[in-house]
Structure 1
């Protein structure tokens, strides 16, 4: 199970870690934390030294109720950061967190290797066509609604089966466009209740039927800290526990704020994998 990132093959049968670099002022955990070049470079270096294979850069906050920003604002935020990272870390493998095809195209042209779309192609009808032309790995995430309304009473008859059906339909469309490097992300916290999230985590191995690598993005999310009645800042231990469950249930990539701890979880799980 491999993906091709700018000519380099990455074997995802051994799980990898994707470090999160939010350059937004209002992300739920680290919004506004990395405001200048020194802070951005220091955090990126920390994640790479901690064992991150991929760095996921986002300039549009997708937390519940997030403020919508224009395409131009997103570009102005993200292009200078992409250029900064590529200049200072020539071997870096960058994923861009965007649902807009224009942002995807321009960032790939500036050195991005992976496109991570929280909308799974639902918020920009040119996204699939654009990704197919770019021929870069595409992270297809499930979200009910938009970041502005996704947590307003999400309802499913069978959350696991409905998300599997969504993926099957979208993967078919992408295959028709000759795109093969597709990674699925069930979208923990994106239009799901806490109960939905834990049901998906429990059933994560069922998504293997789609024959695509699985990304788990559970890091410090509300499903964890609400369950424990703590804050996101206190949810590192809960994150490691959830990441371990995800790995045991078939996750191929962990998308996290805390790289070192996630890499350690991967190493421990690898000792009992069979």
Structure 2
């Protein structure tokens, strides 16, 4: 079984964020692989282990710092890492990103067919959950989204999707794009051997030219969305500290009532 997992380098959501030319400023020292993508990597590893054979590819798109995302996937157990690094990709929206990812996936698939592409349910820096569907449309593959369970067999993938008032069981033929939720599994911790190996592992570096993607079709110039304005978060208002001498609960209740929050 051959599976490709898309992973994203996302900034630390607790750190102070800023924008440069309408895009989030990203640095290697305050980011990591998107946490929800760890569930996707774990799903791929479990499927390959259950099949008794196969390999897992980790793919990311981004600047030089984004290589940290695929190296984290290698630490978890992925076999191969691919980094699409091209300045023309900067500022791409979800559609441009999907087009680049799809081109890279087709390159891998044409060399040796893939069974699945697995993604996380969302990137924590955007939380749109649009990428899996856009990617499936670009590839013209079946899509199974928001999987809380995943099984593969007899040329099909079957998922269970939890909705507010129902559970859906959906089956689609392979190859397919599957997005998984954090309910699916608990990602493993990387072991020391894999951590050390990931530092020296080869990461394939591809450009848009390698993928046959027109630079004018992606990037900020081709984006369907634009950041019109961005301003720093206002400083925190004056804090009121109440020392609890036994009536802290009453003081809190009075504060909430005063502010119209209760």
TM over 0.5: no
Give the structure, 1 or 2, with the largest relative contact order (CA under 8 Å, sep 6 or more): 2
**Which is helix-richer, 1 or 2?**
1
- Could you state the TM-score of these two structures normalised by the residue count of structure 2? 0.30
**Structure whose alpha-carbon radius of gyration is higher:** 2
- Could you state the TM-score of these two structures normalised by the residue count of structure 1? 0.29
**Which is strand-richer, 1 or 2?**
2
